[in-house]
Amino acid sequence: MIAFVIRRLLQAVLVMLAVGFVAFSLFAYVGDPVAIMLGQDFTQEARDRLIRELGLDQPFVVQYFRFVLAAAQGEFGISYRLARPVTDLLVERLPATLELSLCAAAIALFVGVPLGVYTGLKRDTWGSRFLLTVSLVGVSLPTFLIGILLILVFSVMLGWLPSFGRGTVVQLGWWSTGFLTGSGLRALILPSITLALFQLTLIMRLVRSEMLEVLRTDYIKFARARGLRNRAVNFGHALKNTLVPVITITGLQLGGIIAFAIVTETVFQWPGMGFLFIQSVQAADIPVMSAYLVMIAFFFVVINLVVDLLYYAVDPRLRIDKGAAGGHGH
Amino acid sequence: MSVEPLLEVRNLRVEFPTRRGTLVAVDDISFSIAPGEVLGVVGESGAGKSLTGAAIIGLLEPPGRVAGGEIRLDGKRIDNLPYEAMRRIRGREIGAIFQDPLTSLNPLYTVGRQLTETILTHLDVDEAEARARAIKLLQDVGIPAAERRIDHYPHQFSGGMRQRVVIALALCANPRLIVADEPTTALDVSIQAQIITLIKRLCRDHGASVMLVTHDMGVIAETADRVAVMYAGRIAEIGPVRDVIKRAKHPYTEGLMGSIPKLGGSETKLAQIDGAMPRLTAIPKGCAFNPRCPKVFGRCREERPEPIQVGDTKVACWLYDSANKAAAE
């Protein structure tokens, strides 16, 4: 178990180094930071001095190493566009994105799993046929279209919910939260539904097909043959066996939700990291882009690690150290 | 038989509605099992023996359904009970053992949890008592260090040990009938005999009857009191195991016996039955066995034989109909 965690941590470090390399390469190959910083008029002398000051005359490997060292300490330089430290910009925007993503993930999970179980158990009812058909829409409609449709119906036509922004936020230390005010909560509804819908239908379809698979197994038949109550068979035995793939997908989707909040945040003018990223792309603001890249990769790596650890909690076959397994003879 | 039968199956018919018409997988079979009796059910795969077992425990897989006849346990009909009423009977009155011990246990729960769960479902005992009972059961089925092994997961047991756990699970609420569907087929030959002996001993101790479904004549000879030979959804012959094995009456049973290798036998070549069992979609008119039967005659192709009592055996073959005896000889 400990060896496993250490191995996964080493792999995570490797992944982060590779992503760091890509993020670092952005500086070298997308635009010339020196030209951007010097502006229109400069002398060769000023240029050389800046290059020396920035350490750009150093070998590539040394530069990369310094970049990694700084990044590990949360230091990503200064935004070209806003002339503020990138880290501060991201930290400011982080709560907005995380609150939105967590709401969306919660909706996807707490609606998706029960619907999946329902459609798996009551396979041939009108209810599940209807849900499956609707879920096709959820899978195939692009996020921005769903967002715009929701805005059209609930903000423009009905006027129930705000169409953009976070509403009123409350500062808790450095964390700004929209959970504590009515307008903050109301502002969360449409974007989190928009962001959740795709994942929700995905989870529902996944749980359904896993349920169908598990319900066919011998141990479910045997559980029924032992006369266990339906609830115990369906939820105690069947649902728990569907959890490993569901945890995997949900975990990866959570990373995806954070990363792809870009579209939703843009549609709803949500002041999160994704919106910041889009604005940075338009301005070719490389430090923000590369920091965003590293940060999203970091989320994915952490989530993957957590998912792997959850397997251990769910599946005893992984938990047993090899010495004790294998069983005794006959 | 003077004793009231524990299980009585009368004219049972199991159908599978399909798009191209209804398949009759079990066709009008009748038999009974006395208290404490072991009935072996043999036949080739597809003969309907497992489906008969599934129909008795009320777990036919849809769209399969009992389309006719009745199943009585202790004289009470159980084939038309609602799901919840039948659930109370499963495990409590009728236990089941399935073919593959490797897949019969839920991999995510300890064997102890699966045992106590079943005990608590059916019996009015508390957790501690259920656990004590579970340990006792594991000891009964021959699992060493049961107090420790009870907290192990299925994957920590070998195949033979897992089948012992499955047997403990089937017996844990003291059912009066055990339906064992090919309980040894998936096991090593060396383990098979142990498991069969175990089932036999435990059922005798618990006073349970057994319906032992298998395609292994050796297992039947060793275990069963009576045997039913099934062919294409029907019972060809049913009777005391000694009679059926030593003096097989139905030509199909004869063929089946001839195909078992004998140790020390002088014959070098095994007898075999030509052809294959018909598909359910193409069961021939008359006796289903007639295209393969070495003793076939005119009536076999026209009329379906009903079971005829010959001594202690019932055999569905026109050879034993008094009107045809002369014709056959």
The residues of chain A scoring below 70 in pLDDT are: 30-31, 33, 319-330
Listed by start position, the domains of chain B span 33-51+83-224
Which amino acid does the sequence have at A147?
G
The rounded distance, in Å, linking the Cα atoms of A70 and A292 is 15
- Structure confidence by residue, pLDDT tens digits, B216-225: 888 888 888 9
Model pLDDT, residue B240? 92
Neighbours of B82 (CB within 10 A): 7
What's the whole-number mean pLDDT along residues B179-191?
84
For an interface test with A, give the residue of B84, B88, B108 to mutate (most A CBs within 10 A): B108
Model pLDDT, residue B118? 92
User: Measuring CA to CA, how many Å separate A66 from each of A62, A63, A77, A291, B324?
Assistant: 6, 5, 12, 14, 102
Q: Does pLDDT of B211 surpass 90?
A: yes
Q: B220 touching A, CB under 8 A? A: no
CB-CB: which of A226, A317, A329 is closest to B118?
A226
Contacts with B91 from chain A: Cβ below 8 Å: 225-228
Q: B100 touching A, CB under 8 A? A: yes
Closest approach of A240 to chain B, Cα-based (Å): 8
Structural domains in chain A plus CATH codes:
2-72 (no CATH), 86-319 (1.10.3720.10)
The rounded distance, in Å, linking the Cα atoms of B79 and B274 is 37
Model pLDDT, residue A325? 40
Percent above pLDDT 70 for chain B: 93
Range scoring the smallest mean pLDDT among A265-269, B75-79, B270-274: B270-274
Q: Does pLDDT of B329 surpass 50?
A: no
Answer whether B28's CB lies under 8 Å from B69's CB: yes
Model pLDDT, residue A329? 37
What's the whole-number mean pLDDT along residues B209-213?
92
User: Looking at residue A283, what DSSP letter applies?
Assistant: T
Q: Work out the pLDDT band at B264, boundaries 50, 70, 90.
A: low
> What is this structure's pTM?
0.76
CATH 3.40.50.300 fits B33-51+83-224, yes or no: yes
Q: Work out the pLDDT band at B3, boundaries 50, 70, 90.
A: low
Closest approach of B114 to chain A, Cα-based (Å): 9
Model pLDDT, residue B265? 58
Model pLDDT, residue B177? 92
Q: Does pLDDT of B289 surpass 50?
A: yes
Model pLDDT, residue A326? 41
Contacts with B157 from chain A: Cβ below 8 Å: 327-328
- Structure confidence by residue, pLDDT tens digits, A88-98: 888 888 888 88
> Within 13 Å of residue A293, how many CA atoms lie on the same side as its CB?
22
User: Looking at residue A271, what DSSP letter applies?
Assistant: -
CB-CB: which of B89, B91, B106 is closest to A237?
B106
What's the whole-number mean pLDDT along residues B36-46?
88
Contacts with B107 from chain A: Cβ below 8 Å: 219, 241, 315-317
Model pLDDT, residue B94? 92
Among B157, B138, B155, which residue's Cα sits nearest to residue B147?
B138
User: Measuring CA to CA, how many Å separate A292 from each of A256, A281, B311?
Assistant: 14, 11, 88
Range scoring the smallest mean pLDDT among A185-199, A216-230, B148-162, B273-287: B273-287
Model pLDDT, residue A3? 80
